[in-house]
Structure 1
Amino acid sequence: MLSEELGYSFNLSGKIVPLFGGQNTSVRVNNEAVLKPVDDVQHYEWLLTIIDMINPHGYRLSKPIRSTKGTFVSEGWVCTKFERGQDVNGLIKEKLHVSRLFHHDLSNINFKDFPQGDNPWVEGHRIAWQKGELPMEVNIEIRKIINKLLLKVNLKEQYNSQIVHADLAGNILFDDVLPPLIIDFSPTVAPVEYAEAILVCDCIAWQGSRVSNIDLLINNKYNKEMIVRAVVFRLAVEAIFSGKDFNRFIEQYYLFKPIIDFIE
């Protein structure tokens, strides 16, 4: 629960308004700032330090606000400046353009000490990259579906990996006047093509974009592999949340299945 003292720790006071989207845990204070609870202090201190350093061109970043103690995390909350923008379904070309600008700015970030954290999304990336396995409690039929998808890819010796935003489809906000705004940075270490594949697959499965938009992705030797890994990532996360509930999982599977059918 957001306390008055917490607001003061970020030099904020005023009306608190709940924000809907993502995990539905963020709040806005006046039109100044957005606060959200976090559970990994080390991860967010590292991440927000990176965001604070970037000087964006052609897009906007939701910049962090330090607490009165000089930290980015205070009492389990982080704070960013409130910026105008609306979530818009589709617009894949525009979102890919913003993605490429942002990932260019991230390309020189040293990720050697990146604190990965531990949550279903981190585990989903590990599964997608064949560095982890589904929990044993996951339904056996779900396991078969995901393992069958992973048979379509093989790990290569070398990838051009960097810090990427792995959840851009719904986290680029648009404004009639201002450049697009990137929010809720969900970082992982992977090729940029993987992040772009997640963006496009999410727009197709969740936002009603045509499956033919797959063709907007850069067509190189990693193209099919990155699409498969993007789908596995989303389905692995759903599998972790679904556990033994096959019906819940299969609803998500059918949203992503046209993508796999399209590239085969």
Structure 2
Amino acid sequence: MTAEHVPASVLEAFGADDPPRLLTGGQGTSWRSGGLVLKPGSGPIHAWLGEGLEGVSAAEFRLATPVRTIHGTWSWDGWSATQWVEGTEPDQTKESTWLKIIEAGRAFHQAVAHLRRPDCLHARNDWWAIADRVAWGEHNIRFRPEFAALGRRLHGAVEPLGASQIVHGDLTGNVMFSPTLPPAVIDISPYWRPPEYAEGVVVADALCWHSAQASLLDEAGVSVAAVARALLFRMATTSQAASAGRARGDVEADLRRYDHAAAAIGL
């Protein structure tokens, strides 16, 4: 990728004066220009986030909020922008990191608990949205044969988790840290679920991909049911990608990670 992938019309619309620089991490499509992060992709959900997150703040976290164009819109030529916030990825080998990510998520969810459910969430039909519905019994997919047995084990552990609200469903790699500032919550993936579900995703990710200890479950105060739903969510995403021939990495290795995480929480 080169800077030419950010159209000049987009830079002008968002008032971005500095040459854009490709950022590492995520899906590799985000660019920084001065105090802005620009990325392709827009639509009703981004616009709703822009409206809903205006004025949201708390002492416990910073927020990378959407930014309007100079024309007052939330996107331009298929691109959107958020504020750049200082911070670096934390050391994910430390259990304290996961506790801090969950703590920042809890503060964020408390700050946005007043927001109403947007109608545009119903229209999402990507793998992640479908996998989320699978985890909550609102949609059925045919799991790949290698995932079927574990899927049944996880389904047997799910329970209600409380009232739903807007949550950030992908906190794991989207909380940045600074030695002098509160944690920064970025790149919000919105779902209408109980906040503990979002916390379960963090614990599941830590167990699956970052060699976290089983004790994290108790240390974080997250239920087995929340992590079970989170594992169903991740596994349903992987299963769909694999069935479409677009899986990232070794599917059998992912299955071993999911199975390890399920065993760590007693399933």
- The TM-score, its normalising length taken from structure 1, stands at 0.89
In the alignment, what sits opposite 1:198? Answer: 201
In the alignment, what sits opposite 2:189? Answer: 186
Matched AA of 2:53: I
Alignment of 1:2-151 (within 5 A): 2-29=6-33, 31-38=34-41, 40-88=42-90, 89=92, 90=94, 91-111=97-117, 113-116=119-122, 117-134=124-141, 139-151=144-156
What is the percentage of aligned positions where both structures have the same residue?
A: 27
Q: Secondary structure at the match of 2:258?
A: helix
Aligned length: 255
Q: Secondary structure at the match of 2:165?
A: strand
CA contact (8 A) 2:67 2:83 kept: yes
Alignment of 1:183-262 (within 5 A): 183-218=186-221, 223-243=223-243, 248-262=250-264
- The TM-score, its normalising length taken from structure 2, stands at 0.88
Instruction: Encode CA deviations 1:64-109: one digit per residue, 9 max, x unaligned.
Output: 2101221111111111121110011240121121111111111111
Q: Distance in 2 between matches of 1:146 and 1:233?
A: 10
Deviation (angstroms), 1:252: 1.3
Q: Out of 176, 181, 204, which is 2:179 matched to?
A: 176
Q: Distance in 1 between matches of 2:67 and 2:260?
A: 42
Matched AA of 1:240: Q
Q: Distance in 1 between matches of 2:59 and 2:206?
A: 24
CA contact (8 A) 2:99 2:220 kept: no
Q: Secondary structure at the match of 2:21?
A: strand
Q: Distance in 2 between matches of 1:147 and 1:26?
A: 38
Deviation (angstroms), 1:148: 4.1
Q: Distance in 2 between matches of 1:203 and 1:101?
A: 20
Instruction: Encode CA deviations 1:8-56: one digit per residue, 9 max, x unaligned.
Output: 0001122111112111110111x32110111x51111012222223123
Matched AA of 2:164: S
CA contact (8 A) 1:65 1:81 kept: yes
Aligned CA distance change for structure 1 residues 68 and 92 (closer, same or farther; 3 Å): same
Deviation (angstroms), 1:114: 4.7
Matched AA of 2:260: P
CA contact (8 A) 1:4 1:13 kept: no
Aligned CA distance change for structure 1 residues 152 and 93 (closer, same or farther; 3 Å): closer
Instruction: Encode CA deviations 1:216-237: one digit per residue, 9 max, x unaligned.
Output: 2336xxx222111011101111
Q: Secondary structure at the match of 2:250?
A: helix
In the alignment, what sits opposite 1:153? Answer: 158
Matched AA of 1:101: A
Q: Distance in 1 between matches of 2:158 and 2:68?
A: 43
What is the RMSD of the two structures over their aligned residues, measured on CA atoms? 2.1
Q: Secondary structure at the match of 1:188?
A: strand
Q: Distance in 2 between matches of 1:99 and 1:139?
A: 32
